[in-house]
A and B are shown apart, each in its own frame.
Chain A
Amino acid sequence: MNEHSTKKRPAFDHLFFWFMFAQGGVIAALLIPVHILVQGILGPLGIVPVVDRHYDTWISILGNPLVKLYILVLIAFPFFHFAHRLRYLLVDLGVPAAKSLPAQAVFYGGAVVISLITIWLLLTTAPLSL
């Protein structure tokens, strides 16, 4: 069994990733369903007009710095949430290797990479306009 408890230390990496997981979970819960409903269902079916159905409206709203910031939040935090959950899901399904440091690097690193891609896309897609 365990060595004496003095050997144990708070795991700050786990603390940080759980914090990001919780934040991302709240943001995903609050923001994502309405995007899927409006942009994924109502828009394509033509039930309501939606900004991303036309180039002009889409590019103009993407130019707004607040929208850029919002999209970064919409992507970055939830991806840390997804990375954390999928890693634990693999453990649950019998892949203990998902606990290893390389696995953590792949999953959380993936979330960082997607966040960086998002920043790059937001900076290159539409010129800033106020």
Chain B
Amino acid sequence: MSTETATREYRWVMPRGWWTRRANYFWYIVREFTSLPLAVWLLWFLVEVQRAQSGPKGYVPHSSTAFVIFSVICLGFALYHSITFLSLAGVILHFKVLDRPIPSRLVVLSQFGAWAAISAVIAFVLIYFAR
């Protein structure tokens, strides 16, 4: 962009720790980071499926304290992902009914409603069929 003849400009260089300089940037990076613990937890879920191959004798469910602590941490990240993603999706989705735009607060509320309903159904299945 700059040539020899042009006046010298001082070029911008993004500082490495830019995301530590403002709270909003930091929480954005946390939001993006949630994918890592969630991915690890889902891999554990796959292992849980795989372990069912070992037959009735070899099947011992995970119960260690470490695993519960790991899950609690993952749940924190999962909730942060859910809350941010469903709230932000309300900004993006734009519906109209009878030519009138639906307020985004209503869209967000209905998403949280769907989240609650779906969670209740899954929890019911996981618990009810345990007997």
Contacts and interface: CB of A to CB of B under 8 A. Distances in A.
Interface of A: 1, 25-26, 28-41, 43-45, 48-62, 71, 74-75, 78-79, 81-82, 85-86, 88-89, 92-94, 114, 117-118, 121-122, 124-126
Interface string B2-43: 000000000000101001000000000100110110110111
A57 B129 contact: yes
Contacts of A26: 85-86, 89
B33 A89 contact: yes
Interface of B: 1, 14, 16, 19, 29, 32-33, 35-36, 38-39, 41-46, 48-50, 52-53, 55-56, 59, 61-64, 67-68, 70-72, 74-75, 78-79, 81-82, 85-86, 89, 114-115, 118-119, 122-123, 125-127, 129-131
B130 A41 contact: no
A121 B122 contact: no
Given A31-B118, A32-B38, A40 B74 contact: yes
A88 B19 CA distance: 14
A118 B45 CA distance: 10
Contacts of A124: 53
Nearest to B70: A40
A50 B36 contact: no
Given A40-B71, A57-B130, A34 B123 contact: yes
14 contacts: A1-B1, A26-B89, A32-B38, A33-B82, A34-B123, A35-B126, A44-B71, A51-B125, A54-B130, A61-B129, A81-B35, A89-B35, A92-B19, A93-B29
